[in-house]
Amino acid sequence: MAIIRFFRGGLLLGSAEVEEGDFIVDVADKIGISIPTNCTSGNCGTCVVRLIAGDIEYPEPLPPGLDEFLIEDSGILSCCMISEGSCDIDVIPPI
C-alpha cells in the first residue's frame, strides 16, 4: 500500500493512500488539500510541487510545464504525475 504524505514546509498536512493511476493532485484532493491547477495536462506548470522523498514516474517527453531546472530542484507536476510507491510531497513549489 503506497501512501503520499503532504507537507507545507516542515508542517505535515496529511496523508492518503494512493490507488493505481491516481495523479498526485487527486490524492491531495481526497484529503482536502488544494493544489492549484489550471490546464491539468502538464502544460502550464501551475501545479508544481516539490518531491521530498520517494519516486515519481516522469513522462517522456517531459511536458512543457516542466524542465530540467525544475527537476533538479525536485519539482514535479502534480496534475499529471503518478508516484511509484510511497512518497513525501511539499506543496510549496521549488520556485
Tell me the mean pLDDT in the region 57-68: 89
The residues that bridge with 49 in the sheet, in sequence order, are 76
- Which pTM value belongs to this model? 0.93
pLDDT in tens, 23-47: 999 999 999 999 999 998 899 999 9
- Grid coordinates standing for 72? 533538479
Distances (CA, A) of 14 to 36, 39, 46: 17, 25, 21
**Which pLDDT band, with edges at 50, 70 and 90, does 19 fall under?**
very high
CATH number of 3-90: 3.10.20.30
